[in-house]
Amino acid sequence: MDPTAAMPVFTTLDALTELVTERSRLYVRWSRGPSVDLQRVSSMDDLTGAAMPGLSASPLDVEAWWEDRPARVWVARRLYDYSHLPRVKDSLTRPWVLRGQEMGRGPDNEPLVRDVDPLGWIDDRVIAEADAVITRQPGSWGPIRRDGSAL
């Protein structure tokens, strides 16, 4: 059975933020989706080609040091940091939320996650909302990019 068939879609940043504040061990993964990823449940280091023991993902759980700052800004930042991936890696790359167990860390210190439970796709509108939230922040920040080109 295709795990994406019944997967809901998060269409607002507020809905995703609500999930993040109610549950733990949540991650966002940017890929072609669970139907592809769950066939192998491992990622490949792009630089060396080494197989890694879990799916590379970004944690969504709000860290304690964030204190009473808005969870919505936290979630927006976590999405914004990798929002460039569909443009620079693969046009079929989409963000999706999962719950899982961290099994280690990849070469960029990213969590490697197994025992994956796909929870939903993240709509492009949420990414646009996240971009707007981050753009309004007082500091200067851009998404993580390694190719040196402008967005």
β-strand pairing of 51-52 with 43-44: antiparallel
Count of C-beta atoms within a 10 Å radius of residue 96: 24
127-to-6, 8, 64, 84, 86 alpha-carbon distances in Å: 21, 16, 24, 10, 12
Return the pLDDT at 1.
47
Query: Both tokens of residue 112?
Result: 């490697």
- Structure token pair of residue 12: 């607002």
7 and 96 Cβ atoms separated by less than 8 Å: yes
d(CA 151, CA 57): 22
How confident is the model at residue 41, as a pLDDT? 76
* pLDDT tens for each residue of 53-87: 999 999 999 999 999 999 999 999 999 987 877 77
Q: What is the pLDDT of residue 5?
A: 61
What region does 25 belong to: left with phi over 0, alpha with psi -120 to 50, or beta?
A: left
pTM of this structure: 0.86
Tens of pLDDT, residues 13-36: 999 999 999 999 999 999 999 999
C-alpha dist (Å) from residue 93 to 23, 36, 37, 50: 25, 11, 12, 21
Residue 143 confidence (pLDDT): 58
Closest-CA residue to 115 (of 30, 27, 23):
27
Angle between helices 71-80 and 124-135 (to 10 degrees): 110
